Chains A and B, each alone.
Chain A
């Protein structure tokens, strides 16, 4: 499972990181750019998303139809997403088409046409995505949970706000692109079948003369909404619980991550067993460690019929509190087996690998090889995790519910 991880920083600050693997036919790439919704200006919530949406409407010498046709003729499977800190553009294709595909993405990122006459179309797309949230209550709840857990702008949703989207102009979009789509904190990762030398030369040609912009990272504010209950007409009640933990770049991260794994990784994990299997309270229940670069939280969700929501909340909170008392060796053994097979299976997907490479670089300024991750996992023991949990038991539990009726907050939550 040994592979070579290579990296190069261009003089303008853009980082290229690669993991070649000659045993596959595909190659996948991920661009991470510092263009997330945390940069949305006051009164323009949703601008980062609208800008990303407008960038797909033609770039360089190609109008939108030609850009998409050329990409599809190269067999590129693509996707974009706008998060809090970053925007991500990723693609996967057959090995011979990588360099042509990267050329199309260089146009997209550096020379989008941002056609003013298509602003209404782009705006409508964003408004419809925002509206559709009201038909997806669990998603809506988790957005509200994050908004209350993190200080602004780190709890924002990239979907934005309707009045702000309506007020956004073509100039706003152009300015956002010019200011934020810059090389200095941009990461490009490539995994799969490619030649590193040729890739470096191609990236130098495509991105070497991109000028840095020197935009500061957003400042952390204090504001966040309050209120634990969101009234909603639905047949289920949706329960969200959050508590702070440590981020990916913290030396103890794997202790925290494994503790959450005991809670919610696999069908023998505690939440699945206690909430779903033993009591039949719900179909979906989970907890996951959500990490940003400088802060992190464990986010839990359970969806259940309204009359069983109180019991679901009480049982879930009790499980979180019990976690603070420690885990057992057998729970860790199962978790390690799952992690080991996940690491090995990750090698079978160039898309998964390229995403990991880029995220590692963002969080750590370097990439952990799968070997290194394997060693960190091997080093975990019930003692180390329990020592971590003694110092850092789940506490300051924030509960937010969405549904027809409010619930009673269990002791120790807010």
Chain B
């Protein structure tokens, strides 16, 4: 494995982790933009724009884009998050240039009004689809409840109203300000011909203009709150909780990952033994999510409606117990073994390495090997976990419960 980096004159970075033993290569165009960069009048535009990029360019119709990706056997997709919009493809090495040609082209979309109206319908269907799954959408509401007007509280999907009201002109203005050369980078992993990659990207993106896109990274000032959302049609009762956690620039994020594994991994964690194994809850888990300037411990639980108060009490007991007594050496040892194996198993697929590579570059402008990550995990001590718990108390959490119950009492 070898790390390579080149910056075009317009500020567009190209990075790669090359691996000659791989069978395939994965490449992504990553744009530093997402819902956190939106304003109220264009809520949902980042995600809508991601869809529009597949609807055609001056050189290609939407059908051409889909057809040409399929012709090279690409496994491709795109996603939008709070702070990233990613367009990626996994292809056989001989299709590296063909893949780059399509990806670079769709990042300069036509945004034709007819396509805009047609795709708006698909997004509105996507929003409706989530409405039928009672807990979905609640994560947005929870972020808003916990973070208030912080940019990270903005919904990626937007609402039927905000998406319904968007115009092609608003999208064009947003595109111009965010998809500039110095706000996009190209990452690749696997069997990559890096010298060719630089040439291929330069040829297609070398004329893109830089724009010095700005992003606000205010500190979050969360206040724990409690809310009950009544959904009479739901069958199960759901509990979502958010607490503050180390941000993506914080070296304590490794300790935070291990802490989350100990407290709320799908299996073998405290939540597993106290909530899932005894049959009190269908699922219960806690994960650590990192963003620029803020991190989140996110808890998720589903149970029978009449058990929700007892489970809220148990959750609180688990979180307070960890805060007061910390974690045991055995728990930390087990969590390290688990997470390290996941890192190694995951690293065998170029696409997984691509997202690791891209994430590190996006958030910290750094390259980290698999060995670097394993070492950082190994170095986490019980004291570091204790110090995270002091700075980011797990029990200082905002809670939403959604389901058929409208009378859920907040635990004392």
Are A and B associated in one complex?
A: yes
Chain A residues within CB distance 8 Å of chain B: 1, 23-26, 57, 64-65, 68-69, 72-78, 92-94, 120-125, 127-129, 131-132, 134-137, 233-236, 266-269, 272-273, 276-277, 279-284, 303-305, 333-335, 337-342, 344-345, 347-350
- Contact across chains for B125 and A347 when beta carbons are under 8 A apart: no
Can you add 11 more A-B contacts, CB < 8 Å, to A121-B279, A268-B66? A122-B279, A128-B303, A266-B69, A266-B70, A267-B66, A273-B66, A277-B66, A280-B118, A341-B91, A345-B24, A348-B22
- B residues within 8 A CB of A345? 23-24, 75, 90, 349
- Contact across chains for B236 and A72 when beta carbons are under 8 A apart: no
B381, CB-defined interface residue at 8 Å:
no
Contact string against A for B residues 217-260, beta-carbon threshold 8 Å, 1 for contact and 0 otherwise: 00000000000000001111000000000000000000000000
B363, CB-defined interface residue at 8 Å:
no
CB within 8 Å for A273 and B63 given contacts A135-B235, A137-B132: yes
- Contact across chains for B70 and A268 when beta carbons are under 8 A apart: yes
With A and B bound together, what is the CA distance between A335 and B224 in angstroms?
A: 52
- Contact across chains for B126 and A337 when beta carbons are under 8 A apart: no
B128, CB-defined interface residue at 8 Å:
yes
With A and B bound together, what is the CA distance between A16 and B365 in angstroms?
A: 47
With A and B bound together, what is the CA distance between A94 and B338 in angstroms?
A: 11
With A and B bound together, what is the CA distance between A94 and B268 in angstroms?
A: 19
Distance (whole angstroms) from the CB of B401 to the closest CB of chain A:
14
CB within 8 Å for A283 and B125 given contacts A23-B21, A72-B268, A349-B349: yes
- B residues within 8 A CB of A340? 73, 92
With A and B bound together, what is the CA distance between A114 and B309 in angstroms?
A: 30
CB within 8 Å for A284 and B129 given contacts A72-B268, A125-B276: yes
With A and B bound together, what is the CA distance between A1 and B24 in angstroms?
A: 12
Q: Which partner residue on chain A sits nearest B347 by CB separation?
A: A25
- Contact across chains for B337 and A74 when beta carbons are under 8 A apart: yes
Q: List 11 A-B contacts (CB under 8 A).
A: A24-B348, A75-B338, A128-B279, A131-B235, A236-B129, A266-B70, A282-B122, A283-B125, A338-B75, A341-B24, A347-B23
- B residues within 8 A CB of A344? 23-24, 92
- Contact across chains for B122 and A135 when beta carbons are under 8 A apart: no
Distance (whole angstroms) from the CB of B211 to the closest CB of chain A:
30
With A and B bound together, what is the CA distance between A132 and B279 in angstroms?
A: 14
Distance (whole angstroms) from the CB of B372 to the closest CB of chain A:
16
Distance (whole angstroms) from the CB of B323 to the closest CB of chain A:
23
- Contact across chains for B66 and A341 when beta carbons are under 8 A apart: no
- A residues within 8 A CB of B132? 137, 234-236
- Contact across chains for B71 and A337 when beta carbons are under 8 A apart: yes
Q: Which partner residue on chain B sits nearest A335 by CB separation?
A: B70
With A and B bound together, what is the CA distance between A74 and B278 in angstroms?
A: 24
With A and B bound together, what is the CA distance between A211 and B348 in angstroms?
A: 38
- B residues within 8 A CB of A74? 337, 341
- B residues within 8 A CB of A73? 333-334, 337-338
How many residue pairs, one in A and one in B, have C-beta atoms under 8 Å apart?
Answer: 180
With A and B bound together, what is the CA distance between A136 and B282 in angstroms?
A: 14
- Contact across chains for A94 and B341 when beta carbons are under 8 A apart: yes
With A and B bound together, what is the CA distance between A122 and B72 in angstroms?
A: 48
Report which of B69, B91, B345 forms a contact with A26, defined as CB distance below 8 A: B345
- Contact across chains for A282 and B125 when beta carbons are under 8 A apart: yes
With A and B bound together, what is the CA distance between A272 and B63 in angstroms?
A: 11
B6, CB-defined interface residue at 8 Å:
no
With A and B bound together, what is the CA distance between A93 and B342 in angstroms?
A: 8
- Contact across chains for B234 and A135 when beta carbons are under 8 A apart: yes
Interface residues on B, range: 35 or more
- Contact across chains for B268 and A125 when beta carbons are under 8 A apart: no
- Contact across chains for B236 and A131 when beta carbons are under 8 A apart: yes
Contact string against A for B residues 55-92, beta-carbon threshold 8 Å, 1 for contact and 0 otherwise: 00000001101110111111100000000000000111
- Contact across chains for B122 and A280 when beta carbons are under 8 A apart: yes
B273, CB-defined interface residue at 8 Å:
yes
With A and B bound together, what is the CA distance between A349 and B350 in angstroms?
A: 10
Distance (whole angstroms) from the CB of B378 to the closest CB of chain A:
13
- B residues within 8 A CB of A305? 124-125, 128
Distance (whole angstroms) from the CB of B231 to the closest CB of chain A:
9
Report which of A77, A93, A135, A338 forms a contact with B70, defined as CB distance below 8 A: A338
CB within 8 Å for A125 and B70 given contacts A69-B334, A135-B133, A345-B75: no
Would you list which residues of chain B between 341 and 393 have a CB under 8 Å from chain A? 341-342, 344-345, 348-350
With A and B bound together, what is the CA distance between A350 and B74 in angstroms?
A: 21
- Contact across chains for A267 and B341 when beta carbons are under 8 A apart: no
- Contact across chains for B282 and A128 when beta carbons are under 8 A apart: yes
Q: Which partner residue on chain A sits nearest B238 by CB separation?
A: A135
B34, CB-defined interface residue at 8 Å:
no
Q: Which partner residue on chain A sits nearest B338 by CB separation?
A: A72
- B residues within 8 A CB of A282? 122, 125
Distance (whole angstroms) from the CB of A324 to the closest CB of chain B:
22
With A and B bound together, what is the CA distance between A338 and B69 in angstroms?
A: 9
- B residues within 8 A CB of A1? 23
With A and B bound together, what is the CA distance between A25 and B66 in angstroms?
A: 35
B340, CB-defined interface residue at 8 Å:
yes
- B residues within 8 A CB of A236? 125, 128-129, 131-132
- A residues within 8 A CB of B324? none
- Contact across chains for A76 and B341 when beta carbons are under 8 A apart: yes
- A residues within 8 A CB of B54? 267
Which residue among B73, B120, B349 has the maximum number of chain A CB atoms within 10 Å of its CB? B73
B193, CB-defined interface residue at 8 Å:
no
- A residues within 8 A CB of B345? 26, 77, 92-94
- Contact across chains for B23 and A303 when beta carbons are under 8 A apart: no
B281, CB-defined interface residue at 8 Å:
yes
Distance (whole angstroms) from the CB of A155 to the closest CB of chain B:
23
- A residues within 8 A CB of B66? 266-268, 272-273, 277
Distance (whole angstroms) from the CB of A27 to the closest CB of chain B:
10
Contact string against A for B residues 102-140, beta-carbon threshold 8 Å, 1 for contact and 0 otherwise: 000000000000000011111011101101111100000
- Contact across chains for A348 and B344 when beta carbons are under 8 A apart: no
B302, CB-defined interface residue at 8 Å:
yes
With A and B bound together, what is the CA distance between A132 and B237 in angstroms?
A: 9
